Chain A
Amino acid sequence: MVSIDVIESSPSRLRVRLGGVDRAYANAIRRIAISEVPTMAIDDVVILENSSVMFDELVSHRLGLIPLKTDLDRYNLPEDCDCKNALGCPKCRVLLVLDAEATDRILTVSSGDLISEDPESKPVSDIIPIVKLAPGQKIKLEAYARLGKGSEHAKWQPTSVSTLIETAKPDEFELCIESVGSLSAPEIFARAIQRIQQSLTEIAAQIKA
């Protein structure tokens, strides 16, 4: 008999006890939480101006790693989107702009300076540093965020911790998921299960065919 006991549940952390579940299935949830649950992250950056000491590739890399709040119901993965457009459409991408200049003193540009066209898809924290500007330096860019999966790049991983450990009882495991903030931990869990379900359905369909 399958049982799920929630030990701890908050947006940032979820701990559940899974009983009567096969280890492979439980571990699949853990793995999929890391690599297959999509989140939003900056993937394409158009640098209009950058006179900082940090050059374009690095700024872009840092922008990509900033976790963005993600609403999976409102956005499509680019490959699943109807637009079939390389540039994407409002259903599959979010534009964030950054325009900062240091005038008389050193300025630390942080994630809070990113202005998103969708107020719901913004950085989970405003104090993540991006680059330091010396007086006179300027940075201006357009960043395009899209949904993606952790299997492609770590910036799309929704989890910081995803573990499955054994308990004292056989066939019982404890699953723990911690979120980086883009999705809530319970949602990651739910989406991971959905994802497995979807895969299994697909396999079943293929077997029939």
Chain B
Amino acid sequence: MLLLSLCSGGGLVKMQRAQTQTQYDAWPVLQDILTREGVARQHLNSYNEFIQRGLQSIIDEIGSIDIETVGTPYKVKFSKVKLKLPRVVEIDGSVSNILPLEARLRNLTYASPIFVDMTVEEDGIVRESQEQHIGDLPVMVKSDRCMLATMNPQQLVEVGEDPKDPGGYFIINGSERVIVGLEDLSPNKILVDYEKVGGVTNYKAKVYSSIVGYRAKLDITLKQDESIVVKLPSSPVDLPLVVVLRALGLETDKEIAQAVSLRPEIQDKLEVSFEKASEAKTTKDALMYIGNRVAHGMLDEFRLRRAESVLDWGLLPHLGKTKDDRYDKAIFLGEAVNKLIELRLGQIESDDKDHYGNKVIKFAGQMIADLFRTAFRNLARDMKYQLERTGQRRGLNVVGAAIRPGIITDKLNNAIATGNWGRGKVGVTQLLDRTNYLSTLSHLRRIQSPLSRSQPNFEARDLHATHFGRICPSETPEGSNCGLVKNLALSALISVSVPSAQVVAKLYDLGVKPFKEADERMKLDGCRVFVEGRFVGFVKDGDALARSFRKLRREGQIHPHAGVAFFDSPFEGGTKRVYIATNSGRVLRPLIICDSGRPTLAPDIIKRVEAGQLNWRDLVQMGVIELIDANEEENSLIAIDFKHLNEKNTHLEMYPSAILGIAASIIPYPEHNQSPRNTYESAMAKQSLGFPTPTYPFSTYVREHLLVYPQPPMVKTRSTSLLSLDERPTGQNAVVAVLSFEGYNIEDAIIFNKSAIDRGLARSIFYRLYEAEAKQYLGGMKDTFEVPRPEANIRGYRGEKYYRLIESDGVVMHEAQVGGGDVIIGRTSPPRFMEEYKEFEVKGPYRRDTSVGVRASENGVVDAVFLTENDEGGKMYKVRVRDMRVPEIGDKFASRHGQKGVIGLVVNQEDMPYTEDGIVPDVIINPHAFPSRMTAGQFLESLAGKVSAIRGKPVDGTAFTGEGSESLEQSLKEAGYSPTGREVMYDGRTGRKFAADIYIGVVFYQKLHHMVADKIHARARGQVQMLTKQPTEGRARGGGLRFGEMERDCLIAYGASMVLKDRLLDEADKTEVHVCEKCGLIAYYDAKQRKYVCRVDGDNARISTIVIAYAFKLLLQEMMSLNIAPRLTVKDKV
């Protein structure tokens, strides 16, 4: 390993002259953002917003339930909601607060009880008021409701937590679940587009109108015949536009036309629509028209009510749900139609669905809001039903009894535990990846697209210009999910929602005129202003408005997350629009504000940030940096770096390599690699073993790996220290020579030095957890932990030797050596069905052996035994077995450049090549790994690693800004090495000098979790499947190795018919069956009568016995079950 190279490099360490450029470097600001906010900020913000506002607004939305009883009806009113601290209710009813560690150990759910103030009101008179428990809400670790949020690192250590754990996940029944960010189209935004279907072009405008926990889609279509129709979620048929507008209260044609536009060319396009709505002349007519469609055949009054509710609840609910909001809805609809017609006339471009400005990301808060809304509605409906059934008895006690908290608790728990969100949404949550620290971080910044992965969706998978600085260009899976699963860039921040009322007030101050007050001139060619999907009015100069808005924001008068974008059409005649976004889930990125060619973020301010005197929020308040969303970015001109900054630039990039995500940012010199290699490495880094958490003495993950001697990389990137990967490394620095070695490293295999392995290189520990719970059953029966005794009438007794390791309490001793099949938790259970023994058993009740044994193919040492109790009162053992994994032939390794390979040979040190200094490589890789893969980054890393060993300190290999090759070469030269990175080497076996100099340096290697010990498998004979009598499949079941169709083809081609018969019949599922020669159907042997019987031909049958595959017998019988009679014709062999 490194030891050797450091020793012999000894006296030659010479300080590299300080980096020449005292360049403009805003890294400290970015560092401050990420360390202060943490990588899981987006989850925490989203969840906190939900518990602070969302929860209350969902409850207020229902407000109260009317209990209609025979006597006097009354009301149950819901008011203030309160979320208490996470707690557990034990089986005996005692309540105590819990911390995440306890939840993980005891398989509990980390959840808080929700209390709502409920009031009973009769005839408007308040009778009683009290807070009631309505259910439990899973608490996100490190959110505002989590007890860990306010603890300092020392306190976190004391409660058994990793101080570096980012939080942002839930603990459900003891397992950690993440709600992965879900990409979605922006809500409340009019998006216009056209589609060509069979030569017909349809123009469409879409709006996803959203309120907390609810979304209604509005579709407006401009058809081929120029008519415009509106599709609402609650209406089965399309409604004519003019009818809808009239129903909303715009009675006259003029009003309707003006709601769309004052421009004649646009109004002209409405003509057909007016014609189609000729039967509805008044608002009442229009409502009836809608009523006839949505509630056909009902009473007049009912139809009217339905029509009104369709408009109030189904149409644009974000604008409100009362009668008073209908005017706003009409104006909004008018604007949507205006935009649609402008698109039709070619005055504006269609909206780009893949533009990140048209997207938001939904995190835990929004996702749970969806669930909670339906769960709470179910609860209210259930309460109403129960209270109405209860009848006359009333009062809070009755109300309290009618609440079933399980409705909410179970719904939330089940959804988060399974990822099943209802309405076909699956895979919303995932088990938090704890392979190593980096994979945890990366998992928390992952984003999923709702688009189907089975469809091509080419454009949606492409990297879009607006991803720059928001989404990592490299980190995405290969294959079906490519481009659909994304990861946030280091610089990305997710917006929180900003109260829009204050923003609107500011706009009116800035000269925006509301629709009603605007004069005709303004309506005709003024700029339209929108705030969060609300059409708030007109302004003369939109560009100026946007600029003054930004000025206010920089002065701190407007929330920094509010975004403003001025849209001007590239074509003649398009309306100018200003969009102000205040919603949450937009991806923002910090940029340095520039003024006349100079960054306002002066170097001395950066120094103060570095010194800790200022933080990044101060910089936002000072107006020197700002957060920009993808729409606002379209109004900016951003200089890529300080060198390229000129007068025209509005902004300067903060730090170039911050465009990468977590996984890609640890690659040194990635800009020298072919791009797919960085993508491969981004995937592999998450499989490398390291130091996932320092809590391993109490961790109870089902599988966990630990690298014994993890090292921070010698060639680091700025993000390795930023992400604490120096303290939680994922690999080791190896001396790597590029050289072929007797063919044992062809096809990407790698050669390992045996002595390096002896000294601990790539040694890792694998932990597996075994778990057993003693359940209590109805009727007082229980599971017991004990050593099953053969004389105790136990079914499934395995044999004495399997129980030898367990002690009288039924569990193995700590540090015991265990192997496949050994029982480590002894347990017996009552019979599955009580009747079972009564009838047949003479000996009385038997018990079943339900002991837990070590997996057949594994072994190790018992590392830890935990005894706890879950909240159902069941005693529970968790036994952790550890197994030391010393690298062996077949184990998989990879550098940080997507160069993966398995060990092909382990070579003794004296046989390995050596340099003149006596350095013997740890790893030898094949030169053929480079020409086609073009991972020049690995060469640079190797070079830099060598320099690092010489200097005795890490080298910076950050993308775009890392130490360049000139400086590295210089350092090598000064230390007496060749600047090429090559050295004279000798063959250890012969002592002969190699003809060529060998490229050798230090490269960071990751051990990946695919190890031979977990995969090695062979079988001579073994178990077969019950149904087919063919050998089982898979290593875990001791299965056979499939002799497949292609293998079969080989034997046929070769003519090896006896081998074929041997494999496919004799050694597979050979059976003897009796066949009746007359009817050709299967007969059987009756043991009582001692004769062969055919059910068809009876005594006349002639039966012969044939040998066939059992699967074939099965086929015959399955066909018979389908009323097909497959007859076998049997003849004598001549």
Chain B residues near A155: list those with CB within 8 A: 758-759
Given A35-B908, A154-B759, A165-B916: A57 in contact with B884 (beta carbons within 8 A): yes
The distance in angstroms between the C-alpha atoms of A23 and B758, with both chains bound, is 29
**A70 beta carbon closer than 8 Å to chain B:** no
Given A31-B910, A150-B909, A154-B909: A56 in contact with B815 (beta carbons within 8 A): yes
**B991 beta carbon closer than 8 Å to chain A:** yes
Pick from B8, B990, B992, B993: contact of A161, CB below 8 A.
B8
**B882 beta carbon closer than 8 Å to chain A:** yes
Chain A residues near B402: list those with CB within 8 A: none
Interface mask (B980-1005 → A, CB under 8 Å = 1, otherwise 0): 00000010111111000000000000
Given A162-B918, A165-B916: A35 in contact with B910 (beta carbons within 8 A): yes
Pick from A35, A165, A176: contact of B909, CB below 8 A.
A35
Q: Which residue of A lies closest to B696 (CB)?
A: A53
Chain A residues near B986: list those with CB within 8 A: 163-165
Among the interface residues B756, B863, B908, B910, which one has the most CB atoms of the partner chain A within 10 A? Answer: B910
The distance in angstroms between the C-alpha atoms of A163 and B919, with both chains bound, is 9
**A191 beta carbon closer than 8 Å to chain B:** no
**A34 beta carbon closer than 8 Å to chain B:** yes
Q: Verify A61–B882 contact, CB threshold 8 A.
A: no
Give the Cβ gap from B76 to chain A, nearest Cβ, in Å: 56
Chain A residues near B909: list those with CB within 8 A: 34-35, 150, 154, 157
Interface mask (B911-933 → A, CB under 8 Å = 1, otherwise 0): 10011111000000000000000
Interface mask (A151-179 → B, CB under 8 Å = 1, otherwise 0): 10111010011111110000001001010
Given A160-B7, A165-B916: A153 in contact with B992 (beta carbons within 8 A): no
**A89 beta carbon closer than 8 Å to chain B:** no
Q: Which residue of B lies closest to A174 (CB)?
A: B916
Q: Verify A55–B882 contact, CB threshold 8 A.
A: yes
User: What is the number of residues of chain A that contact chain B, defined by CB distance less than 8 Å?
Assistant: 31
The distance in angstroms between the C-alpha atoms of A137 and B755, with both chains bound, is 32
Chain A residues near B915: list those with CB within 8 A: 163
Pick from B708, B755, B882, B990: contact of A27, CB below 8 A.
B990
Give the Cβ gap from A65 to chain B, nearest Cβ, in Å: 6
Q: Verify B991–A26 contact, CB threshold 8 A.
A: yes
Interface residues of A in 6-55 (CB under 8 A from B): 23-24, 26-27, 30-31, 34-35, 53, 55
Q: Verify A154–B758 contact, CB threshold 8 A.
A: yes
Chain A residues near B756: list those with CB within 8 A: 154
Q: Which residue of B lies closest to A53 (CB)?
A: B697
**A58 beta carbon closer than 8 Å to chain B:** yes
The distance in angstroms between the C-alpha atoms of A162 and B763, with both chains bound, is 25
Pick from B8, B697, B755, B990: contact of A23, CB below 8 A.
B990
Interface mask (A56-76 → B, CB under 8 Å = 1, otherwise 0): 111001000100000000000
**B4 beta carbon closer than 8 Å to chain A:** yes
**B320 beta carbon closer than 8 Å to chain A:** no
Q: Which residue of B lies closest to A178 (CB)?
A: B918
Interface mask (B1-34 → A, CB under 8 Å = 1, otherwise 0): 0001001100000000000000000000000000
Chain B residues near A161: list those with CB within 8 A: 4, 7-8, 917-918
**B794 beta carbon closer than 8 Å to chain A:** no
The distance in angstroms between the C-alpha atoms of A61 and B763, with both chains bound, is 11
**B896 beta carbon closer than 8 Å to chain A:** no
Q: Which residue of A lies closest to B757 (CB)?
A: A154
Chain A residues near B910: list those with CB within 8 A: 30-31, 34-35, 150, 162
Pick from B4, B708, B758: contact of A58, CB below 8 A.
B708
Pick from B760, B916, B988: contact of A31, CB below 8 A.
B988
Given A61-B760, A157-B909, A176-B918: A164 in contact with B991 (beta carbons within 8 A): yes
Q: Verify A24–B990 contact, CB threshold 8 A.
A: yes
Chain A residues near B754: list those with CB within 8 A: 154
Interface mask (A88-117 → B, CB under 8 Å = 1, otherwise 0): 000000000000000000000000000000
Give the Cβ gap from A26 to chain B, nearest Cβ, in Å: 6
The distance in angstroms between the C-alpha atoms of A57 and B884, with both chains bound, is 8
Q: Which residue of A lies closest to B914 (CB)?
A: A163
Chain A residues near B861: list those with CB within 8 A: 55-57
A-B contact pairs, 9 of them (CB 8 A): A27-B990, A31-B911, A55-B861, A55-B882, A56-B861, A57-B861, A150-B909, A161-B7, A163-B917
Additional A-B contact list (5), CB under 8 Å, known A58-B708, A160-B4, A163-B916:
A55-B882, A153-B758, A154-B756, A157-B755, A161-B8
Tell me the A residues contacting B by CB distance below 8 Å: 23-24, 26-27, 30-31, 34-35, 53, 55-58, 61, 65, 150-151, 153-155, 157, 160-166, 173, 176, 178
